[in-house]
Structure 1
């Protein structure tokens, strides 16, 4: 199947209507106050006072994730605690078997909430997109928004699930200020998708103990409502933003088939990449659009007939590292309790960034506690087979297919291919395709076969040199690169990078000059002060005029002058001392005109003269 971009995948609806801003909708976004359904205009924030923390662990203080990490590190340092050294062999504890099941909650990429006409909102003013039903106002009724089904179905197909022709919604009862109705609408008994499976490979970062690959089963995927957003304030005050209540989620529930912490983290990462690839999810873990709960149990390995141990649940893990670290900490805690003769209690536990231990939150609720019941106000959800077939046929390439193509067609390493696919929600690999298309037009029809090093060079620059551009040289330079779903970069347009790579590949400019040109493009000098990359090279006289063979030889002679001690180490060496060779090459570059020196050619000249001139002279 030809390559299909995520931007293309997101541009269809039941009637072929286009969407805007990456969200499924049948008409332009409107503010809550202009929707036909009556909406409630609330105060900027509703707030409640309490002496306890939210019992469901959903509180959010509105602090960026990176700042949380820094603040926690400072706190631990102030307390005199040393950072726990990572144990490279922490995937297994001798005599014990770990079993993990995962529940992933992902916000769907939709324009409306699940059961009301209110628009989804992530950055708008608090409590400005709220319908009567969102607040459980008496007399209000749920109305299923069909647009929310499409990204959910794409997610289910990407996870190899069987879509159920009939599914139903249930009420899950619990009382907390973030759920105004006193229950959450979900699909506990009859979800819309079942029996999926994901194949993880070693390149996905699974534990070495799993070998080259491992298959993880998905029990079911269900649609459900999100809760309101709680923002903790000083003095035991919590502000409530109801913009989030009723937003459509999917909950992905695995079978308890994971046995290593690293594999659990790799599974969550793989799910996030798949959801991004099919435009099903709003954002990833780093932005709060995807959260993971893990169920952890341990049992001794001396008796294979032993049942699985009592499980505990760790709620709302917000990073891949947190998934792995929390599982390790909870596994070790349970083992310590059992070895001391204790009993593991079924409970819900929490995890804080930078912590080394899980903490008790509350006793574990069960099916009886939640009092599940079919929702009497919502009709069964009927999904036609032709819709499922259409979505499956137009799914396009999934991340594994793209990674395989990058490795096969361009010779990229699996690490670089995985990075390209996962960075910037898949938009960076779209940018790579655009650069490749422009390079192919410059190199000719057989470019992929004859010029793989050129495309490898482009991938390397898109991954690594772009990272240096935003390496906090200044506040201005640390701005986002600005990748779009169409595969363009605002700060470094694909055409300019392709021109730069083409000249560098053909050795018309040096790597140092190329880096300076990239910085000029990033700062807006190309286009601007210079119209194109070629214009900048010609106006500044940046073309590479390499030294001749005689000039290289003379420069090598200058570099070894006074370095007899270094040269003597080449006399009887069984293995050519590469480090000493590069030391001498470095002297060549420093002594000569760097803008006229090709390091590889300088290395070849120095190696040849050591073997043919300098070492024989020492022997004489």
Structure 2
């Protein structure tokens, strides 16, 4: 469609454009097209004139108009989404998750080849990995240790005897024609993972959800394939037989956000116990999700899923590589299944794929079952026997769980908020948490002569300095965590000086920056040599400083008095600290004097 050209000054030239330029274009078209263009021009011209008439009375800036239109569009989208959700409240979503995680081991599961996948392709490969005739699997006992740590951390029951099975399928990434796994008798069963509101579960799921784990099984990874359209595919067998654990949950999740939170929590548990080296971001962990829907008012059916009846026909979405992909894929598949069922269709049991940025899942193949895979016991591998003493020893050496650490940090010993406790646990593989605890312990020793109520707040104070002040300097410099930049004793002494009001908050931040940048002087020496110790101002000095700042901003003073804009007092406090002698103006005293002079309180 032709677009009318509008000059820079449309008020002066609108009629000229409409009556001459576009009229000339219309005459050159066929009659029917000419009528449509003429009608379009007439409509746009009248709309333009109406806009001009309205704007002449009450002009609306273009930027403001665009913002209003964008806001209206967001509101319409939000309303549409709410309407869609309302129409689907009669449906219940059920999700089960299967997580494949690469174990942190030096050797492969059934060969002595190294597990490194970052080397030149096809260089860390044993004869068994390539399924050479006559080659036999050799179970590497060391691969069991990280698998056991993972299962124990997931609250599983370790089975004294487990066995390996062959899962048959033919694909180029599996040269033997089968994958060795533990389908019937896995080494760990009956575990669970607890999800809390601070883990990011959906609000409608409440404050806590327990997701039960059916089993954890050992299995070998497949080759890495790289497609080069239209018809070339390269294979790297370095990854073949890399030790995996597959974690299978029961179908007890009913919201996409909680499913993503479950994958995120399991990854964090695996990393904290040293079972894996990388997570989803580097390809060390992949998730498959099984999705089904059914009407809430529908009587339980006969569909079976992991032994749990009454659920709709499920589909499986394979190889999701991020937490967002897990959530988005479930939402898309839920909407697809509901649309199919509401239109009278039937959900087919199938395997589906997901592309990041997409809005729909896509069919890959019909869903295989146990019969299709022709599971059979592996005749070349003996049963795996696990000594209960080994399990007990590993339990004793596991680090404290993240949930226990959250409870400890939020408790009376430290008194942190969940917003501070979570980052301390998750950042830098626990190194920042260890640093935080060291600073708190040292500060408590320095504060032994203070009252107990004051000491109780030390955890929150240290948390703020470690996460926000010191963390902000690291972020600004784009630097990795390094506890030696500002030692724990130095930070503890700096906070002690601030707590005793020997320095102001601004001075403490300045000194922290100096330490961060490499100043090696002891805190007390640095404060004395730089003349940073607080020499408190008298009341008369505070009043004089406040009156000077107020006299330069009388209009703002009047606004605070007449309109009760108390928030602007902070601006005056900042001016007093800039105007006054460096390191001598205390923000709290400055605000008290300002309130007295301006508000009479």
Structure-2 separation of matches of 1:594 and 1:232: 65
Specify which of 363, 374, 379 is matched with residue 382 of structure 2: 379
Decide whether the 8 Å contact of 2:444 with 2:455 is kept in 1: no
Q: In structure 2, do the counterparts of structure 1 residues 288 and 535 end up closer, same or farther at CA, with 3 Å as the change threshold?
A: farther
Structure-1 separation of matches of 2:225 and 2:523: 50
Decide whether the 8 Å contact of 1:91 with 1:207 is kept in 2: no
Structure-1 separation of matches of 2:279 and 2:251: 23
Q: Is it true that 1:481 corresponds to 2:465 in the alignment?
A: no
**Structure-2 residue corresponding to 1:113:** 108
Specify which of 319, 331, 334 is matched with residue 331 of structure 1: 334
**Structure-1 residue corresponding to 2:422:** 418
Q: Is it true that 1:181 corresponds to 2:169 in the alignment?
A: no
Decide whether the 8 Å contact of 1:296 with 1:312 is kept in 2: yes
Query: How far off is 1:543 after superposition?
Result: 3.5
**Greater share of helix:** 2
**Structure-2 residue corresponding to 1:344:** 347
Q: Which has the higher contact order (CA 8 A, sep 6+)?
A: 1
Secondary structure (helix, strand or coil) at the match of 1:249 reads strand
Secondary structure (helix, strand or coil) at the match of 1:410 reads coil
Q: In structure 2, do the counterparts of structure 1 residues 121 and 502 end up closer, same or farther at CA, with 3 Å as the change threshold?
A: farther
Query: How far off is 1:166 after superposition?
Result: 0.9
**Structure-2 residue corresponding to 1:201:** 196
Query: Size of the alignment, in residue pairs?
Result: 516
Superposed counterparts of 1:56-455, under 5 Å: 93-232=88-227, 237-306=232-301, 307-408=310-411, 409-444=413-448, 450-455=454-459
Decide whether the 8 Å contact of 1:314 with 1:348 is kept in 2: yes
Query: How far off is 1:388 after superposition?
Result: 1.8
Structure-2 separation of matches of 1:535 and 1:355: 60
Q: Is it true that 1:586 corresponds to 2:590 in the alignment?
A: no
Query: Which stretch shows the higher mean deviation, 448-457 or 281-290?
Result: 448-457
Query: How far off is 1:261 after superposition?
Result: 1.3
Query: How far off is 1:467 after superposition?
Result: 4.2
Structure-1 separation of matches of 2:527 and 2:185: 65
**Structure-1 residue corresponding to 2:544:** 554
Residue-by-residue CA offset, 1:231-283 (whole Å, 9 max, x unaligned):
45576544433332212111111100000111112211221222222222222
Structure-1 separation of matches of 2:223 and 2:178: 12
Query: How far off is 1:171 after superposition?
Result: 1.2
Query: How far off is 1:426 after superposition?
Result: 3.1
CA RMSD of aligned residues (A): 3.1
Query: How far off is 1:565 after superposition?
Result: 4.8
Residue-by-residue CA offset, 1:306-362 (whole Å, 9 max, x unaligned):
532221212222222222222112212222222222222222222233333323333
Decide whether the 8 Å contact of 1:481 with 1:490 is kept in 2: no
Decide whether the 8 Å contact of 1:410 with 1:448 is kept in 2: no
Secondary structure (helix, strand or coil) at the match of 1:377 reads coil
**Structure-2 residue corresponding to 1:459:** 463
Secondary structure (helix, strand or coil) at the match of 1:240 reads strand
Query: How far off is 1:461 after superposition?
Result: 3.0
Q: In structure 2, do the counterparts of structure 1 residues 398 and 444 end up closer, same or farther at CA, with 3 Å as the change threshold?
A: same
Query: Which stretch shows the higher mean deviation, 326-335 or 436-445?
Result: 436-445
Query: How far off is 1:194 after superposition?
Result: 0.8
- Which of the two has higher C-alpha Rg? 2
Decide whether the 8 Å contact of 2:272 with 2:399 is kept in 1: no
Secondary structure (helix, strand or coil) at the match of 1:428 reads helix
Query: Which stretch shows the higher mean deviation, 93-102 or 513-522?
Result: 513-522
Decide whether the 8 Å contact of 2:428 with 2:481 is kept in 1: no
Superposed counterparts of 1:24-39, under 5 Å: none
Structure-2 separation of matches of 1:159 and 1:317: 21
Secondary structure (helix, strand or coil) at the match of 2:186 reads coil
Secondary structure (helix, strand or coil) at the match of 1:137 reads coil
**Structure-2 residue corresponding to 1:10:** none
**Structure-2 residue corresponding to 1:604:** 592
Secondary structure (helix, strand or coil) at the match of 1:230 reads strand
Q: In structure 2, do the counterparts of structure 1 residues 434 and 86 end up closer, same or farther at CA, with 3 Å as the change threshold?
A: farther
Structure-1 separation of matches of 2:449 and 2:148: 39
Superposed counterparts of 1:529-544, under 5 Å: 530-534=520-524, 536-544=526-534
Residue-by-residue CA offset, 1:16-46 (whole Å, 9 max, x unaligned):
xxxxxxxxxxxxxxxxxxxxxxxxxxxxxxx
Secondary structure (helix, strand or coil) at the match of 2:238 reads coil
Structure-1 separation of matches of 2:387 and 2:487: 43
Query: How far off is 1:169 after superposition?
Result: 0.7
Residue-by-residue CA offset, 1:444-468 (whole Å, 9 max, x unaligned):
4999864243332322233233443
Structure-1 separation of matches of 2:134 and 2:374: 23
Decide whether the 8 Å contact of 1:481 with 1:492 is kept in 2: no
Q: In structure 2, do the counterparts of structure 1 residues 137 and 549 end up closer, same or farther at CA, with 3 Å as the change threshold?
A: farther
Q: In structure 2, do the counterparts of structure 1 residues 445 and 544 end up closer, same or farther at CA, with 3 Å as the change threshold?
A: closer
Structure-2 separation of matches of 1:195 and 1:435: 40
**Structure-1 residue corresponding to 2:15:** none
Residue-by-residue CA offset, 1:548-580 (whole Å, 9 max, x unaligned):
33222222222322555544555577xx64423
Query: How far off is 1:172 after superposition?
Result: 1.4
Q: In structure 2, do the counterparts of structure 1 residues 161 and 531 end up closer, same or farther at CA, with 3 Å as the change threshold?
A: same
TM-score, with structure 1 as normaliser: 0.75
Structure-2 separation of matches of 1:313 and 1:200: 23
Structure-2 separation of matches of 1:86 and 1:190: 48
Q: In structure 2, do the counterparts of structure 1 residues 559 and 111 end up closer, same or farther at CA, with 3 Å as the change threshold?
A: same
**Structure-2 residue corresponding to 1:64:** none
Structure-1 separation of matches of 2:585 and 2:156: 57
Q: In structure 2, do the counterparts of structure 1 residues 232 and 566 end up closer, same or farther at CA, with 3 Å as the change threshold?
A: same
Decide whether the 8 Å contact of 1:440 with 1:448 is kept in 2: no
Structure 2: segments with no counterpart, 5+ residues: 1-73, 302-309
**Structure-2 residue corresponding to 1:42:** none
Query: How far off is 1:111 after superposition?
Result: 2.3
**Structure-1 residue corresponding to 2:20:** none
Structure-2 separation of matches of 1:398 and 1:494: 24
